[in-house]
Amino acid sequence: MAAELLTPPEMKTISIEIDGEIGTLTLNRPDSFNAMSPDLIADMVEAFAWLADQAPLRGLIVTGAGRAFCAGGDLNWFKEGQANPDIDIVASVRRGAEMLHQAIVDMQRIPYPVIAALNGPTAGAGFSLALACDIRICSEEAFLACAYGRIGVSPDGGMTYFLPRVVGPSKAIEILLNDPNLSPADALEAGLVSEVVAPDELMARAREKADKLAQKSPYYVKMAKHLVHQSLDNSITEQLQLERHGIANGMGTQDSKNAIEAFLSGGTAEFKGE
C-alpha cells in the first residue's frame, strides 16, 4: 500500500490515530462538547471517506475528546444564523445536513468493525453518529438523548433510520417523543449499547474488542456488514442472491483456502485479508 495512504488527513476538529491495525477517531471540540459545527461536519466527510476507501485498518474506535462524546448540532451556529438577517439559516442547515449525511453514508461503507466508545453525553446528531457505528460501549458517566424536540426541529444524521432498526419502530417513536436522558443502564436495557464500563476502562475495553474482531477474516467482516445493511431493504429473493454471490466469491480467497485447510487439520486459521 502506498505510503500516503497510511497517513490520515490533517483536520482541525478531528484527530485520527493509528496503532497497528486499529484506528481511533476522536471528535476534538471539547470546549463545546464536540458539538457538530460546519467545520466538524466537513472534517467528518473527509475522515470517513478516507477511512472507508484508503485506511489500512482492521478496526476503528470512535470517541470524543474531553467530557462528551458529542452534544449534537452546534447551537451557537443555529443561534447566529437565526439572529443574523444576512444568513439564510435554513439553507445553511440544509447544506450542513447534506454533508453530515454524506459522512454517515461513507461511515457505513467502512469494511471493518466500527466501535463507538461513548465517554460522555451523546445527544442529537451525536446519538445518530453512535447509532451508525456497529457496536456501542458506554461509560458509566455517559447518557444518550435524542434532544431534537427540545429545540423544536426534526431528527437528522440517520436517527430515524438507525433507531427503529436497533429498538423497533414503536420503541423508537416512544424514545423520540418522550425524549428522556437515557442512563447507561437504560441504554443497555434497550439494546442501544452492548455494555457499560467504568470511565477509566472505556478505551481499554473498546481496544480489546477491536483487537478481537480484527482477528476475523476481513472478507467475512466486510460481507457480514454489507449483507446485514442490505437486508433491511431487500426482498428475500434479492438477499439470497447477494448471499449466493458472497459465499461463492469468498471461496476464491486465499484466506478461505488456508482456513479450511487449518480447520480440517485441527489448526487455527490466521486471516491476512488475501
**Helix pair angle (218-231, 236-251), 10° resolution:** 170
In this predicted model, what pLDDT tens digit does every residue of 113-163 receive, in sequence order?
999 999 999 999 999 999 999 999 999 999 999 999 999 999 999 999 999
pLDDT of 3: 41
pLDDT of 21: 95
Indicate whether 1 pLDDT > 50. Answer: no
> 6 pLDDT band (50/70/90 cuts)?
confident
CATH superfamily of 3-214: 2-enoyl-CoA Hydratase; Chain A, domain 1 (3.90.226.10)
Instruction: Compute the distance between CA of residue 50 and CA of residue 15 in angstroms, rounded to an integer.
Output: 13
pLDDT of 5: 55
Indicate whether 2 pLDDT > 50. Answer: no
Q: What is the pTM of this model?
A: 0.93
Instruction: Compute the distance between CA of residue 89 and CA of residue 97 in angstroms, rounded to an integer.
Output: 12
In this predicted model, what pLDDT tens digit does every residue of 67-78 receive, in sequence order?
999 999 999 998
Q: What percent of the chain is predicted at pLDDT more than 70? A: 98
